Structure 1
């Protein structure tokens, strides 16, 4: 059975939202300021890292790391400049 899990964080004045579709395989969709900027499908049940850019001048590279479970997935925003992971808060949509 498939489920959707939503996560969100504000970083450098930009909104980063992640939707994780779980089930037999899983899909990750990432929105930055409401625009889809990242998409990935799982190739196993290990963690998945999806690189995206924040629309700053110059663009800021970041990545979202999704760990699938067991249970509810977990998402971290990793700022590639300093490597500090930040937990993305779950949202009930």
Structure 2
């Protein structure tokens, strides 16, 4: 059964939202400021990373790491060179 989970964080003045659709082939979609900027298909419940850019001058690369399972999906925004992540808050809609 497919189910959608939503996550959000504000980073450097930009809105980063992620939708993780679970099921046989999990799908991860990333939106920056409301525009789709990246997506990926996961294998099983393995973590998947999606690289996107924030529209700054110059563009700022960030990575979203989504873990579809097992259990409730989780998302991290990896925005620092050392790979330290910020937990993205789940959204109920």
The alignment's TM-score, normalised by the length of structure 1, stands at 0.94
For structure 2, list consecutive stretches of 5 or more residues without a partner in the other structure.
Answer: none
Measured in 2, the distance between the counterparts of 1:80 and 1:60 equals 10
- The answer to whether the 8 A contact 1:9-1:17 is kept is yes
**Number of residues of Structure 1 aligned to a counterpart in Structure 2:** 93
1:43 and 2:43 correspond: yes
Where does the alignment leave 5 or more consecutive residues of structure 1 unmatched?
none
Deviations 1:16-72 (A, max 9, x none): 000000011100000000000011111333110100000000000000001121221
The 4+ residue runs of structure 1 with deviation greater than 6 A are: none
Given the two structures, how large is their TM-score scaled by the length of structure 2?
Answer: 0.94
Question: Contact between 1:61 and 1:80, CA under 8 Å: does it hold in 2?
Answer: no
User: Matches of residues 61-80 of structure 1 in structure 2 within 5 Å?
Assistant: 61-80=61-80
CA-atom RMSD in angstroms: 1.1
